[in-house]
Amino acid sequence: MTGSPLPREALRRIVASLVTAEIARTRGGAAAGIAVDPIAWSDARTLTVGSIALDSLELVHAAAALYEMFDLDALPSDGEREQPATVGQWLDAIAAVQRRGDATLSVMTSGSTGRPKRCPHALQDLRDEAAHFASVLPPVRRVIALVPAHHIYGLLWTALLPAMLDVPVVSASVAALPRLETGDLLVGVPDHWAAVARSITRWPDRVCGVSAGAPLDDGLAGDLRSAGLAALYDVYGTSETGGIAVRQAPDAPYALLPRWQFVAPMGADGATIVDQQGKRRVLPDRLAMTPDGRFAIGGRNDGAVQVGGVNVWPEQVAAVLRRCPGVSEISVRLGEHHRLKAYVVPSGTKDADMLHDRLRQHASRLLLSEQRPTAYTFGSALPRNAMGKVCDWS
């Protein structure tokens, strides 16, 4: 059985994003600080990031990332084939593998604790999801991408969807948005939308938005709609599943995408969904069902929160911070601005400023940026409610 590869320009965008992120990581930086312009990644180009060519070890890392994502170890060997040297050769190699009928594409989980997990997806499932969204969206003139194309959300919305709609993609950031025009579709995570809401007080006609990667606050969505955003699609999903459900924010509950159905009755571990091939997934969140089969999300079963679209476990962060000298007790929670905050009970020191500096240095050494609290409160005892349980603080 044979299949067809993903559109070449979609693959080009994914490859550019993946290689840029991988090399930014090995160079000790962040991919967000390096512009990704897939148009500049012509077939004849060798792999470079920015204006800096990859050295031999960086080429190894880039190749490993490409082999991992696109299952290139399945490429048949004739004993003479060499590793691709140009962007076009890499795209040809990927397309050759994807012509298999059972071809897959893998993305990595975005969890910030533990080792990221490889999540394979059948190409046809990805195509079907993108085709569904293409069929329900209002007319789109171009896609404005605030998210990387090698993560599941960006792959679907900023690579496959534009290819299906035959519209251009503009890579952008909140700090450098292009002039928005009628028919634009802006794709971001809730943190992007919170920042954009502060800078755009009136939206052009028929500009729509998409949010995913973390829960979208109804108040924020309401403010965006009141300012003239024509529609805001809030997508619920995971790296393992792709999109699961979608709603038009604010207020509306989520409806499952056509690929999924709920398994009844729901198990003690949470809601289970099944796809058309019979694959089952237990959802990571608590759901509140409505009579018509839609649902609202009531928080993660495992205690994770999302910071910048990345899963973070506050108790695991607290366990790391407790090892800092001078800390007796500590509680970590998600703050109002979608960054972690910490309440600290000192031990053996009366100098809160000194402990504050020590904690920040400790966190910078041992935690990723998404895991580091941005606000510290100090007191003689953790705040507790009438039942004696640790509670929130202002």
Give the domain extent around 39: 1-102
Tell me the C-alpha distance between 291 and 67, whole Å.
Answer: 45
Same domain, 128 and 212: yes
Domain CATH code at residue 330: 3.30.300.30
In a domain, 383, yes or no: no
Same domain, 62 and 4: yes
In a domain, 107, yes or no: yes
Same domain, 45 and 148: no
State residue 6's pLDDT score. Answer: 92
How would you class 382 by CB atoms within 10 Å of its CB: exposed for 0-12, middle for 13-18, buried for 19 or more?
A: middle
State residue 36's pLDDT score. Answer: 64
Same domain, 7 and 148: no
**Contacts for 256 with CB less than 8 Å, ≥ 6 apart:** 244, 245, 262, 273, 293
**Contacts for 328 with CB less than 8 Å, ≥ 6 apart:** 345, 346, 347
State residue 25's pLDDT score. Answer: 80
Same domain, 203 and 317: no
| Distances 187 to 72, 99, 159 between C-alpha atoms, Å | 29, 29, 11
Same domain, 221 and 287: yes
Where is 363: in which H helix or E strand?
helix 352-366
DSSP assigned state of 391: -
**CA angle (282 as vertex; 279, 285 as ends), nearest 5:** 145
Q: Which segments of the chain have a pLDDT < 50? A: 31-34, 76, 112-113
Tell me the C-alpha distance between 369 and 371, whole Å.
Answer: 5
State residue 33's pLDDT score. Answer: 45
Q: Enter the pTM of the model.
A: 0.81
In a domain, 390, yes or no: no
The tally of domains found in the chain comes to 3
How would you class 348 by CB atoms within 10 Å of its CB: exposed for 0-12, middle for 13-18, buried for 19 or more?
A: exposed
Of 302, 332, 367, the last residue of a domain is 302
Domain CATH code at residue 272: 3.40.50.12780
Q: What is the CA radius of gyration of the chain?
A: 23
Strands 242-248, 231-238: parallel, antiparallel or unpaired by DSSP? Answer: antiparallel
Same domain, 190 and 207: yes
Of 102, 126, 152, the last residue of a domain is 102
Tell me if the bond preceding 215 is cis, omega within 30° of 0. no
Of 102, 128, 149, the last residue of a domain is 102
In a domain, 59, yes or no: yes
In a domain, 33, yes or no: yes
Question: At 296, is the secondary structure helix, strand, or coil?
Answer: strand
Same domain, 69 and 135: no
DSSP assigned state of 182: T
Contact indicator for 182, 207 with CB cutoff of 8 Å: yes
State residue 76's pLDDT score. Answer: 47
Which DSSP string do the residues of 84-140 spell out, in sequence order?
A: P-BHHHHHHHHHHHHTBTT-EEEEE---SSSPPPEEEEEHHHHHHHHHHHHHHSPP-
Residue 100, sorted as left (phi over 0), alpha (psi -120 to 50) or beta, turns out to be beta
Same domain, 98 and 172: no
Same domain, 109 and 90: no
Which DSSP string do the residues of 255-289 spell out, in sequence order?
A: EE-TT-EE-SSPBTTB-EEE-TT--EEE-SEEEEE
In a domain, 169, yes or no: yes
Tell me the C-alpha distance between 234 and 254, whole Å.
Answer: 8
In a domain, 389, yes or no: no
Same domain, 266 and 133: yes
In a domain, 392, yes or no: no
Tell me if the bond preceding 204 is cis, omega within 30° of 0. no
Same domain, 341 and 297: no
- Cα 338 to chain center, whole Å? 15
